[in-house]
Amino acid sequence: METTIKQIEDMSLNAWPSHKMELYDGWILRFSYFYTHRTNSVEQFGNSTLTWREKIPYCESVYKRLGTPAVFKISPLVSPDFDYVLENRGYAIQHTTNVMAMSLKTAHLEAPYPDVTFCDNIPSEWIESLFRLKNTTNPIHRRVVPSMYQAILKETICASIRIDGQIIATGLGILDRDYIGIYAIHVKEEYRKHGYARQICTGLLKEGMKKGAQNAYLQVVEGNDNARALYKSLGFHQLYTYWFRVQPDENGNFPPEK
């Protein structure tokens, strides 16, 4: 179990590069102007030689200089004592996320996906459409995020559905080892509950199998019950949960959830 979690944690780092990164004594400091918690947080990936008492203030100083709160990712690979230390420093839990996985041998992929088109690269139009679907208006995010997508080293499968010439649904598959990771599933609000997300997920998983994937994983924010129900119906099961500890500002306030 721990080996599988470690593998998926490593693959998710490969799948979603940050705008800037720093390696620090077995930790990686990720910074992306707080586009998402995942791309703007500290992750533990190796052995430490320094104490938490030294490392936490260092990370806080780095993020303060960059203009965002310090955020630490807490996965099952992180000591519960570390989470407790952050809680005592006033950090709050945000963006609790469930990681789901499955063997593609047991996947339920009977549904057709006639409306989905695929490409191997990540076109600028797809990224612009994703911004529109997510209502991303921050000019800094719109400037730096395309380079983050282009920095993905792994083989990708980019999926979209068009209606009247406009992309109304997106999805991204990222191949790593014998897995396909499913990312960026978004459907324009007025087109939801029409089966488009199922088409995209089914298509990505089947295309991934053609390219050698034997397993799949994805991440769904806690509370997104509709997405979770869809993924369970495809054969995904709960594997583990992670969350983020977020530093309060000088007034004790926290940034909004992403």
**β-strand 155-163 against 20-24: which pairing, if any?**
unpaired
Could you read off the pLDDT tens digit of each residue along the chain, which spans 258 residues? 888 999 999 999 999 999 999 999 999 999 999 999 999 999 999 899 999 999 999 999 999 999 999 999 999 999 999 999 999 999 999 999 999 999 999 999 999 999 999 999 999 999 999 999 999 999 999 999 999 999 999 999 999 999 999 999 999 999 999 999 999 999 999 999 999 999 999 999 999 999 999 999 999 999 999 999 999 999 999 999 999 999 998 777 777 776
Would you say 158 and 121 are in contact if contact means Cβ atoms under 8 Å apart?
A: yes
Alpha-carbon separation of residue 247 from 10, 30, 71, 89, 91 (angstroms): 24, 15, 6, 8, 5
Whether pTM exceeds 0.75: yes
Place of tokens 């977020």: 246
Q: First CA to last CA across the chain, in angstroms?
A: 29
Query: Strands of 166-176's sheet, edge to edge?
Result: 20-24, 27-31, 42-44, 71-74, 237-246, 92-103, 215-221, 179-187, 166-176, 155-163, 116-119
Torsion, CA 103, CA 98, CA 140, CA 168, rounded to 10: 60
